[in-house]
A and B are shown apart, each in its own frame.
Chain A
Amino acid sequence: MEIEALAARLRAQLGDAAVITDRAQRRTYECDGLTHHRVVPALVVLADTTAAVAATVKECAALGVPFVARGSGTGLSGGALPHADGVLIVMSRMRRILELDIEGQRAVVEPGVINMQLTNAAMPMGYYFAPDPSSQQVCSIGGNVAENSGGAHCLKYGFTTNHVTGLELVTPEGDIVELGGKAPDTPGYDLVGALVGSEGTLGVVTGVTVRLTRAPEDVRTLLAAFDSTDSAGTAVSAIIGAGVIPAAIEMMDALAIEAAEAAVHCGYPPGAGAVLIVEIDGPRSDVQHVFDQVTGLCQAAGAFEIRIARDDEERALIWRGRKSAFAAVGRISPDYIVQDGVVPRTSLPRVLRSIAELSERSGVRVANVFHAGDGNLHPLVLFDERREGEAERAEEVSGAILDLCIQHGGSITGEHGVGSDKAQYMPRMFTDEDLDTMQLLRCAFDPDSLSNPGKVFPTPRLCGERPRKQQGVPADGVAEVF
């Protein structure tokens, strides 16, 4: 009933076309990139403007209805999983680049702008948007902000959080607030910093001011083949130990290579137990020198073949295997889990050996693709759903890998976020006090827990009295919302 009333009020304000009630249409949005979690939202709103978002959130707040923002729906942790009794606010129509300020090295965009769209717009002026998730052809900048997304090149250039200087936010009460801006260090708490990576739980982002990065003068890429992940890992440590910060160092193990070969015929050296992709960029005079140094270090660590890209085409070929790796695994296994964990870089060889042991013991195959430079693993855990018990076993192995990451002082997620998928793992990494402290921030923004509830945290705290409202109002519990 409530939802029907809400739909009617939103139609009156936003127009019929912006409000979707038809069940079949709503089902289009039932999941994000984590496709085995599905929930049909009670209502879908296609937002065109900040005002439309604010109006939607205000109505939700008035009725106590939860809402979830959705960008392009490529998230891999179920962050944009809809709420069965809530509104899904689809941001993908807000796709305008509002300003390219090359002199000031900033762009102002709407949140639905596709990551690559911004880079394409800035490239003619010699600039680009540095965060480059593999999904950059489709994912939205709003989604990047919510997830604090990374990419192969964040080893040198940093994550989304290092590139966002301002946000326009619709608070969970429906107010429009400007935070930060084109200039750095606006006075007060770094709320922009708190919002980036908050997975849509602190409100809906309706505008983003980002740093644009100067495209490097020179880029050089090599592919090095090793017998084992151990020797490839040695090369990684040697490169970093030499004081080199490559633009990217990516590693794939034998199974991942096999999958990529089957899918895109990338022609990696046969018989390799692991390959490294190393990219060096910067001023020409520096790049050549560093590149020679890196080549030498790879040889010293036992690389049996090194291929150097001579032009853009050859570079694209080297990257093709890596960029297709997730999807490619579909060629060698009907189902798979994309895991995302982090360990200190120096623990990589040990952790990889433990993953191999785990795989052997359980009989579950694991392909490894990862950002080796910053210790961000993406084990792909393979299974066949049709076979009794395999899905559960894969789930177990996948969870055990996260435990390994935590044991080595790492993290349960490096870039894909916690979402609905990993909320139950948060207590393994953080104490109750830590989680409780994070909830203080949540309560400051969203006392009624309406903004993407049920994500990130296993057991949300009741916010208690709302200091901003008049005293004497009884605590608004969140329990009935769940």
Chain B
Amino acid sequence: MPDVQSELERACELEPAKDADAVVGELPQWVVRPTTTAQVADIMRVASAHDLAVVARGAGTKLRWGNRPQRVDVVLDTTGLDALVEHAEGDLILVTGAGRRLETIQQDISASGQQLGIDPARKGTVGGAVATASTGPLRLRHGAVRDLVIGMTFVRADGVVAHSGGKVVKNVAGYDLAKIMTGSYGTLGVITEVAFRLHPIPQGRRWVSVEVDSAQQAHEAVQALVHSQVMAAAIELDWSDGRGQVAVQIVGHADGVDAICEEVIRLLARDAESSTEPPSWWGGEPAGALLKVTYEIGALTQLLEAIGSLRFRGSPGVGTGLLGVSDAVVDVVANLRRESARFGGSVVVLDAPEEARGELDLWGPVRGLELMRSVKQRFDPGRLLSPGRFVGGI
């Protein structure tokens, strides 16, 4: 289709796809690298005129998350959309292109004593973090990605450019479309620009860790922390073979953190230790097929019992976590979903080896799926954007 190619080339820089550009084994024809929202709009107009399926790609760190797309014609590389549009220091607001890297952003703003409350440990681009609603330890303090996004520009499947929200923290004008875009895995539009609220970098930071020998002990430690007055910035659990470590991040005024640390050590009672550095496993992903589990904060014991000897890293003050599964992933998932009523959450397979994917329902049961299909149908009736990748094959 040389005419299609030349139309795409007119929009922006284009290259024929290589093997490495495959999305979970699905090989595209072209990789385009737009540098402006207008170019993305041009690409989507060409795509919708010629029925081309488009998958947006940032740093590619989470491209394998979700189902294999039913088809991919164009990979839209967002890394050219990397402008730092605005840093309104006094307002603690940042507007950035979706292709800018999270690490870069933290560097951009750290001199002003500010940070974006998406954990630095999570790498990749802004767009990728927003599209997958990725979550890390600091969520306990700053909220989820969706709580940090105050405005967004995105390009619809038909090439129309839309904005929602704005550049102020408080704003209830119109629908908050950024909410449905956040965590939509690229199936509703191509995110090109995001406005975030920022937070001050705390002056003092400490970690307190304690060993836990059973599910019950882990639960008690977490409960002691969440109901206390120490207002932990993050509570993390590293768990394998039925035991693990709870680590707490304390932030505050330079002169105040030590007193709070002592309170935490007192609360945890056993031989808790404080440190100025996080434990080595902090914020990392366990190896193997990657599962995301969610649970009620009060049901940690039930969750850990269901997990058994698997490797788990999670945020029990929030109710999320990641499991690394090295074998029998199909059985593990079936088992956990059976048990999920006891811990009140969901089990989603983010990434699994190709050979296991055929037998897995990656997303599991979904509440409100009919409404979600209806949203997809309105936003992307031609199913051009990452078709099949999301829940229910959306």
Give the B-binding residues of A (Cβ under 8 A). 101-106, 126, 147-148, 150, 154, 158-159, 161-162, 171, 175, 177-191, 193-194, 196-198, 214, 216-217, 237, 240-241, 243-245, 282-286, 289-290, 342-346, 371, 374-376, 409-418, 422, 426, 429-431, 433-438, 440-445, 456-457, 467-468
Contact = CB atoms under 8 A, between A and B. Distances in A.
A444 B170 contact: no
B50 interface: no
A28 to B, nearest CB: 27
A145 to B, nearest CB: 12
Interface in B372-386: 372-375, 377-379, 381
B226 to A, nearest CB: 7
Given A191-B371, A443-B378, A429 B298 contact: no
Given A186-B294, A191-B372, A345-B91, A411 B366 contact: no
A243 B168 contact: no
B235 to A, nearest CB: 13
Residue of A147, A179, A184, A290 most packed against chain B (CB within 10 A): A184
Given A188-B391, A190-B146, A444-B374, A182 B296 contact: yes
Given A150-B170, A175-B370, A189-B183, 15 more contacts: A148-B176, A159-B170, A184-B318, A188-B391, A190-B182, A191-B375, A194-B179, A198-B175, A342-B171, A343-B168, A371-B170, A409-B167, A413-B172, A415-B170, A442-B175
Contacts of B227: 102, 126, 214
Residue of B169, B179, B296 most packed against chain A (CB within 10 A): B169
B146 A468 contact: no
Interface residues of B, number: 88
Interface stretch (B19-27, B76-84, B237-245, B254-262): B254-262
A444 to B, nearest CB: 4
A289 B368 contact: no
Contacts of B133: 185, 190
B173 A426 contact: yes
A370 to B, nearest CB: 11
B160 A158 contact: no
Residue of B168, B200, B345 most packed against chain A (CB within 10 A): B168
Contacts of A418: 172-174
Contact of A467 (B177, B348, B381): B381
B39 to A, nearest CB: 17
Given A183-B344, A290-B253, A413 B368 contact: no
A188 B372 contact: yes
A183 B371 contact: no
6 A-B pairs with the lowest CB-CB distances in the bound complex, closest first: A193-B179, A103-B298, A243-B200, A104-B298, A183-B345, A437-B162
B358 interface: no
A373 to B, nearest CB: 9
Interface in B130-162: 133, 135, 143-144, 146-147, 156, 160-162
A217 B229 CA distance: 6
A188 B369 contact: yes
B367 A186 contact: yes
B249 interface: no
Nearest to B223: A103
Contacts of B156: 437
Contact of B368 (A161, A191, A344, A430): A191
A245 B253 contact: no
A178 B367 contact: yes
Contacts of A217: 229
Nearest to B373: A468
B206 interface: no
A285 B256 contact: yes
Given A105-B297, A240-B90, A434-B163, A177 B170 contact: no
Contacts of A194: 175-177, 179-180
A375 B171 CA distance: 10
Nearest to A182: B296
Nearest to A371: B170
B173 A468 contact: no
